[in-house]
Structure 1
Amino acid sequence: MYTPAHFAASEEAVASLLHDSEAANLVTMTEDGLLATLLPFVYEPTVGEHGALHAHMARNNTQWSMPATGEALMIVQGSDAYISPSWYASKAQHGRVVPTWNYSTAHVYGELVIHDDAQWLARHVRRLSDQHETGMPQPWSVDEAPERFIAGQLRAIVGVELLISRVEAKTKLSQNRTPADVDGVIAGLRAVGDSASAADVERARTS
């Protein structure tokens, strides 16, 4: 990943991306070429030497059964946003400004391990459901569904574990702009209703 020094992600930013992101594209190189699937995941920092991403896919998806060549890759995407040059204070000063795109992303590499057993899958889907149901007005639990129904659903999926070997991450959040321009970006993002991206820029400025 091309990452200028001022856009390099801190350890805290990487941990936040892995903890707070909800899904990632799993990319593998196989004999049939590149395959990719968007998967919801759970970050498990205590698994393996560098942590792991746990996910699952449909059993009918052939990607899990196609032997991967080399490392697998999961692309984690944080918030992203168009940045208008009209938001920069420097536009009025000299006009030498152009549009850009702010974003946070992590390329997570590692060994892909397939889990085709009901116990691993049951723990995983419960963990994944609990992660997303937290904060709901009436949180749903796996236990609310009939046991035989859940067993049937588990037979239709396969567990996917990426044992992390390395992470390349980038947070391009206006760190190369002047303080006045950053103020304008934050105000502009809030004005268009993108409070998440505005908060990311705010955090990058103070980190």
Structure 2
Amino acid sequence: MYLPKSFHETRIDVLHALIRDYPLGTVVMHGAGGLTANHLPLELAGDGLLQGHVARGNELTKADGAQVLVMFQAANGYISPHWYPSKHETGREVPTWNYAVVHVHGRLRVIEDKAWLRGFLERLTDRHEASQPRPWQVSDAPEDYIQKMLKTIVGLEISIDRIEGKFKLSQNHPDANRAGVVRGLGEREGLRDAELADLMQQAEERRHG
């Protein structure tokens, strides 16, 4: 990944926070037929592991020990040069795209242990159901149905060898331009604009914090 110094994020707590907030990862692997990509929610277990599960027919279940790249992406969006005060002074600005991503490099382990898998699914469900008025639990489903479903999936664990982040959030612009981008995102109100503006404000707070 191309990493200009202005956008290189190295703080582990910041990288981990993005993974927890945007847990749908893209798992890239070089398989028998070339590069493949699978998209699945992953849980950060401690500092050094990602955990997930896939259908038994997924090619990842046959890739025990493989080296993989996992990409996580936060909110992103088009940035208009009209939002920069400097554009109105000099005209010397162009459009760009702001985003934040985390890349994890690691080794895949396939897990067939049903007790491990059930425990993982219960933790995963409890986390994502926590905001519901009446959180669903794995035990809400009939036990024979749960046992049947467990036979159709396989657990995955990725040991993290290297993690890097690129947070391209207008850090290469002066304060006035960054503030202009946040205002522009607020006025546009696109699907992810509020999230992107929040990421920019968080980065600004960390920079001055």
Moved more, 9-18 or 140-149: 9-18
Aligned with residue 179 of structure 2, among 170, 178, 183: 183
2:76, 2:186 → 1: CA distance? 13
Letter of the structure 2 residue corresponding to residue 102 of structure 1: N
Matched AA of 2:146: I
Of 40, 51, 54, 1:57 maps to 54
Q: Secondary structure at the match of 2:179?
A: helix
Distance 1:66 1:162, change over 3 A: closer
State the TM-score, normalizing by the size of structure 2: 0.91
Separation of aligned partners in 2, 1:42 and 1:8? 23
Q: CA deviation at 1:35?
A: 1.6
Counterpart for residue 7 of structure 2 = 7
Q: Percent of counterpart pairs with the same letter? A: 39
Q: Which segment drifts farther, 91-100 or 13-22?
A: 13-22
Asked whether the 8 Å contact 1:109–1:166 carries over to 2, the reply is: yes
Partner residue in 1 for 2:198? 199
Report the CA distance between 1:22 and its aligned residue.
2.0
Q: How much does 1:38 deviate?
A: 0.0
Please give the secondary structure, in 1, of the residue aligned with 2:195.
helix
Query: Mapping of 1:34-113 within 5 angstroms?
Result: 34-45=35-46, 50-66=47-63, 71-113=67-109
| Corresponding residue number in structure 2 for 1:170 | 166
Distance in 1 between the 2:29 and 2:10 partners? 27
Q: Deviations along 1:8-59, whole A, 9 cap, x unmatched?
A: 11413212112222210111112221121100111112xxxx5111011111
In 1: Cα distance, 2:137 partner to 2:74 partner:
27
- In the alignment, residue 97 of structure 1 is paired with which amino acid? E
Aligned residue for 1:117? 113
Secondary structure of the residue that 2:103 maps to in structure 1? Answer: strand
1:57 partner letter: V
Q: RMSD value over aligned CA atoms?
A: 1.4
Displacement of 1:68: 6.0
Match for residue 139 of structure 1 among 130, 135, 140: 135
Contact 1:106 1:169 in 2 (8 A): yes
Aligned partner letter, 2:8:
A
8 Å Cα contact 2:64-2:109 kept in structure 1: no
1:64 aligned partner, one-letter code: T
Residues 35 and 63, structure 1, Cα contact 8 Å, conserved in 2: no
Question: What whole-Å deviation, never above 9, does each CA across 1:91-115 have from its counterpart, x for those lacking one?
Answer: 1111111111111111101110000
Per-residue CA deviations over 1:53-97 (Å, capped at 9, x if unaligned) read 10111111123214665x211111111111111111111111111
For residues 89 and 134 of structure 1, what CA distance do their matches in structure 2 show?
A: 43
Cα drift, residue 168 of structure 1:
1.7
TM-score calculated relative to the size of structure 1: 0.92
* Structure 2 alignment gaps of length 5 or more: none
Query: Which whole-Å CA distance do the structure 2 matches of 1:72 and 1:130 have between them?
Result: 27
